[in-house]
Structure 1
Amino acid sequence: MSKRPRYKTIDLCAGIGGIRRGFEMTGRYVNVLSAEIDKYACQTYERLFGVNPFNDLTSEDFKKKVASVEYDVLLAGFPCQTFSRVGLQKGFNDEEKGQIFFHISEIIRSNRPKAIFLENVDRLITHDEGKTFEKIIDVLVNDLDYHVVGVDRDDNGQIRYDKDSFIRNSRFFGMPQNRPRTYIVCFDKKRYDDKVKKAVPVATPDKGSMMVYENLDELLSHDVDDKYYLSSGYWNTLKEHRKRQEKKGYGYGYRIVNMPDDGVHIANTILATGGSGKERNLLIDYKDGVSGKSIVGKKTPLNDEYVRVMTPTEWGKLQGFINYGFIDKDGKDQFEFPEGMSDAQKYKQFGNSVTIPVIKEFAVFIDRCLKKLEES
């Protein structure tokens, strides 16, 4: 029995390659084209994969390039921009051509890949009272004629789905991070016709097959640089802000995620913006000599409660880039940022990216579905 060839992927809105890497880790996919426009993300991507992904997927030149490439699966972690409030009946007209999803749908239409994998923030489901997500599903199902996992029709032929079935959380895929995200998986109905109903499950994976870390404590670094400890002034500001929020009845404010009495420690969502993602993932980490210390870059001495932010390395572990996604056959971790990359960029790139173990589970799911579709 001959071995099945690997599926070819294109990696759109690639970031630093988290989706690509999750698919590659299965051994069943090979990437043939990428697109990313962020200068610093491109530098990291090139360091990791040996190719600069700089391409603008909205440009006609790139669309011509894609049209000339053979591939099987389209991958895209597209940004959730503000969609216009134009009614569904107008579809993606001229007013909406600035939207990334419009351009992705155009690329899908020209090549008709066997499968599509889309990732976005969990807010996509509720954005504009659910109209944005409804519009995306409508385009995929009615306009492009794809089967979307989790979508069917009622007795009147109307599209129906459970919005929650598209949300998957990294914490249930072996990672100690509470990170709900929207995942959309599609298969070409024109190509596979009625086979999809028999070969494709009604839902995508909702948990992982392996535990990478049982507890946040397992991935935390020891003896980190003093710069990651909060200054006393900043720490006091956070505490005062939280008091004001609590008086107003809001639950906002800083969070310490490794309190001794909290049981299993789980990080909150890390965010590309850095600020709130850091403040809601504070740690208590005792280090001799750090209390009250004055260091360059801090206006006031370091706090005396040993509170610090997570390091970029810890964020990298939470997303599966460090100590998971780039381990070579000799057990050495090959993940590395380009020399001179700032901490601010590292936080942004990890916060903007995906949790690789989650992506790997979806990659396995898609491979199994395609195998059934092509054998039936």
Structure 2
Amino acid sequence: MSKQVNLHFEEEIYGLLKECSEKYDISVQGVVREAVLHMLSNRKNVTGNGFKFIDLFAGIGGMRLAFEANGGECVFSSEWDKYCQKTYFENFGDLPVGDIRQVDEKEIPDHDILVAGFPCQPFSIAGVSKKNSMGRDHGFKDKTQGTLFFDVVRILDEKRPGAFLLENVKNLKSHDKGRTWEIIMKTLEELDYEVFPFVLDGQGFVPQHRERVYIVGFDRQKFGSEIAFDCLLNKPEKKPVLNDILEREVELKYTLSDKLWNYLQEYSRKHKQKGNGFGFGMPDRYGITRTLSARYYKDGSEILIYQEGKNPRRLTPRECARLQGYPEDFKIVVSDTQAYKQFGNSIVVPLVAEIASNMIDFIENPEGRDGNIQLKFDYFGESLKRRQPIQTGQTAHTSR
């Protein structure tokens, strides 16, 4: 539910608002809203002693949870989806700035690590080709202009954090016939960062097969030109299975209707006859699931839960939260449809917490990693404190 506020501005101020409106191609109301969000996001007096990070394309804050679990302090966040903003605010007390494209990089607080799950977009080479033909120089800003990755680039260039972590879908490496990946890698290296890409799977931390590409970078100007870094993942001794995250009692509304269940079975049958693998997924309760996607709200077909004597059901939003490793006290404050989209677009929190732990260990001791310093992230949410081991027998959310 939105609330309306009537504001009155002097003619001079309104004129400035109109200029911003035309510059950024949004309404005057949109300019005012962005200004208010920016003010609210910076209302805290940051005085912590831990490392500082910023959270770009923040979604509902999965990356923030992971870095806070390692002792970090978030000093700036940005996310333009209003439903994600609501979830983020309810869980962290910070309202992210809406459109990062409208934020001056010079106004972003200093930070040690930049974190971003940026959207994947194709890069146009038209401008670069034109400059080449004219014999003019071009740089990373020209190559990435017009994409949201450009906003990551300009902030890195201006603020020079010691490290960054970028996350995207695994297919980023093949996106636009590999051109997108090539430009991203070259651009980050031109910024004088040593770059380490990893394709990592969430299973082992959560009962879900979820591969994503993670790009870690360290500033050569701070850490030298010969940086050795690897991501050592300390997974729980007991591999989580689907049954660990299922609720004991589930509302009837999550059970598929006869119409939808019949449609999914017929759809699967037709594709099997054609030799295709398309169809619904009904995983073993003591195994793992397919990748949870943002389209899960449509029919839940990629992960259906078997029910004795009746149609299968979808996962509940809370089960989706658990499947992504969110703590049990994480607040779900939006509709089921929006919650499915939010968790489907999110990251596996304990996996990213392990990546963050590796990064902090390197930053604290770049000459040699301390193998005795390890983070165990309790994805069932009883503890988010850094380097506190999971207690055995703590996997309580089971459905027998």
Q: Which position in structure 2 is the counterpart of 1:281?
A: 303
For the pair 1:64 / 2:99, whether they are aligned, the reply is no
Q: Which position in structure 2 is the counterpart of 1:335?
A: 330
Shift of 1:355: 0.8
Shift of 1:82: 3.2
Q: Which position in structure 1 is the counterpart of 2:193?
A: 146
2:234 to 208, 214, 226: 208
CA distance in 2, matches of 1:135, 1:344: 35
| Aligned residue type for 2:55 | D
Q: Which position in structure 1 is the counterpart of 2:264?
A: 238
CA distance in 1, matches of 2:322, 2:294: 15
Q: Which position in structure 1 is the counterpart of 2:29?
A: none
CA distance in 1, matches of 2:125, 2:272: 35
| Aligned residue type for 1:178 | H
Contact 2:106 2:159 in 1 (8 A): no
Shift of 1:352: 1.0
Q: Which position in structure 1 is the counterpart of 2:60?
A: 16
CA distance in 1, matches of 2:58, 2:320: 18
CA distance in 2, matches of 1:94, 1:147: 21
Structure 1 moving runs of 4+ over 3 Å: 82-96
Q: Normalising by structure 1, report the TM-score.
A: 0.78
Gaps of 5+ in 1: 151-165, 287-303, 324-333
Gaps of 5+ in 2: 1-47, 133-137, 370-400
Contact 2:125 2:143 in 1 (8 A): no
Q: Secondary structure at the match of 1:223?
A: coil
Are the structure 2 counterparts of residues 45 and 315 from structure 1 closer, same or farther at C-alpha, using a change threshold of 3 Å?
same
Q: Secondary structure at the match of 2:84?
A: helix
Contact 2:141 2:153 in 1 (8 A): no
Cα shift readout 1:73-109 (whole Å, capped 9, x = no counterpart) = 0000111123335579866565852211111101100
Q: Which position in structure 2 is the counterpart of 1:298?
A: none
Shift of 1:214: 2.0
Contact 2:297 2:340 in 1 (8 A): no
Contact 1:56 1:62 in 2 (8 A): no
For the pair 1:112 / 2:160, whether they are aligned, the reply is yes
CA distance in 2, matches of 1:375, 1:251: 47
CA distance in 2, matches of 1:91, 1:278: 44
Aligned pairs (5 A) from 1:19-168: 19-27=63-71, 29-59=72-102, 61-66=103-108, 69-84=109-124, 92=140, 96-141=144-189, 143-149=190-196, 166-168=198-200
CA distance in 1, matches of 2:346, 2:237: 20
For the pair 1:6 / 2:46, whether they are aligned, the reply is no
Contact 1:16 1:45 in 2 (8 A): yes
CA distance in 2, matches of 1:31, 1:256: 39
Cα shift readout 1:189-211 (whole Å, capped 9, x = no counterpart) = 022223x43xx32x323x43325
Are the structure 2 counterparts of residues 248 and 375 from structure 1 closer, same or farther at C-alpha, using a change threshold of 3 Å?
closer
RMSD (Å) for aligned C-alpha atoms: 2.4
CA distance in 1, matches of 2:210, 2:368: 35
Are the structure 2 counterparts of residues 252 and 106 from structure 1 closer, same or farther at C-alpha, using a change threshold of 3 Å?
same
Are the structure 2 counterparts of residues 84 and 243 from structure 1 closer, same or farther at C-alpha, using a change threshold of 3 Å?
farther
Q: Normalising by structure 2, report the TM-score.
A: 0.73
